[in-house]
Amino acid sequence: MTTITTIETGALDKALRTLKLSGMLDTLDARLAQARAGELGHIEFLQVLCQDEISRRDTAAMQRRLRKARFDQQATLEGFDFAASPTLPAAQIRDLAALRWLHAGQSLILYGPVGVGKSHVAQALGHLAIRHGADVRFLKTSRVLADLAGGHADRTWNRRLAELARPAILILDDFAMRELTATQADDLYELITERTGKSMILTSNRQPMDWYPLFPNPVVAESLLDRLINNSHQVFMNGPSYRPNKRPGHVMNPSTTSTR
């Protein structure tokens, strides 16, 4: 591509800025150098520039999704030390990383004692889904209930419910922590119903069968929980607390922090 040396790139730079093709602009000099060295033909030059732009847009979109998810931490499965808790169902969790449950519109329930890593795994699966293009929201269940209660007060309940129903995955952390009021139970029922066909990830210190007495109305409890539990993969996470592994200054065994 010898004629590339005669191209006046100033006009090209301006055109790329006007078209908001900064991915091409950022790598233009490097791609021109490859072309001058004979590493890229005319078509290849254009192809790699287009791929640079696609990669930039994909990265920017993923960063936007990560910000909107509002994770407590940028947790990943690659960064989870399964060897620290040998009793955890590592194979089952790794199988969930295939995201078949997401494509099927199914949900996950991660339950077990305090500190075993339920929130980490929930956010890690959400992070993985974001990397595959899904929108995710992470919220404490208490925050969701408070937000919907505020909607009753200022007449924005429908809008708030629609916001919670929108993402492909809604993660409700610390689900079933305490008894619900009648209004909270009704709000949860409407939320679960509105999200029919979309995935949720729930973390809880209680096993699902222990959720029923937390609802003041057994009919609402049966209708909501039957719909939710029977469409969910249940993962019992048991073992020693994972939190000491995240203490400041703690160094994990490098052999256990791979993609296992």
Query: What order of strands is seen across the sheet that includes strand 232-236?
Result: 136-140, 169-173, 199-204, 107-111, 232-236
Same domain for 42 and 127?
no
Greater model confidence, 254 or 241:
241
Cα(91)–Cα(221) distance, rounded to whole angstroms?
Answer: 32
Residues with Cβ within 8 Å of residue 201, at least 6 apart in sequence:
107, 108, 109, 110, 122, 125, 126, 169, 170, 171, 172
What is the reported pLDDT for 41? 81
Q: Quick check: 220 pLDDT over 60? A: yes
Q: Quick check: 43 pLDDT over 90? A: no
Cβ contact 235:93 at 8 Å: yes
Q: Which helix (H) or strand (E) holds 159?
A: helix 157-165
Question: Amino acid identity, residue 246?
Answer: K
Closest by CA position to 96, among listed 165, 35, 8, 169: 169
Last residue of a domain, one of 43, 67, 91: 67
Range with the poorest average pLDDT among 22-26, 68-72, 84-88, 133-137: 22-26
Q: Quick check: 259 pLDDT over 80? A: no
Same domain for 210 and 106?
yes
Q: Quick check: 15 pLDDT over 90? A: no
Question: Amino acid identity, residue 82?
Answer: F
- What are the counts of helices (DSSP H) followed by strands (DSSP E) for the chain? 10, 5
pLDDT-derived band at 246, boundaries 50, 70, 90? low
Same domain for 141 and 215?
yes
Cβ contact 173:140 at 8 Å: yes
Range with the poorest average pLDDT among 24-28, 151-155, 164-168, 184-188: 24-28
The mean of the pLDDT values for the chain is 87
What is the reported pLDDT for 49? 82
Same domain for 235 and 108?
yes
Same domain for 132 and 82?
yes
Same domain for 102 and 229?
yes
Tell me the per-residue pLDDT of 117-137, one tens digit each, with 9 for 90 and over.
999 999 999 999 999 999 999
Same domain for 85 and 137?
yes
Provide the domain limits for residue 207.
Answer: 70-256
CATH number for the domain that contains residue 114: 3.40.50.300
Tell me the per-residue pLDDT of 77-107, one tens digit each, with 9 for 90 and over.
998 888 887 889 999 999 999 999 999 999 9
Instruction: Read off the tokens for 256.
Output: 């256990």
Cα(89)–Cα(165) distance, rounded to whole angstroms?
Answer: 30
Greater model confidence, 37 or 130:
130
Cα(60)–Cα(66) distance, rounded to whole angstroms?
Answer: 10
Same domain for 210 and 139?
yes
Q: Domain count of the chain?
A: 2
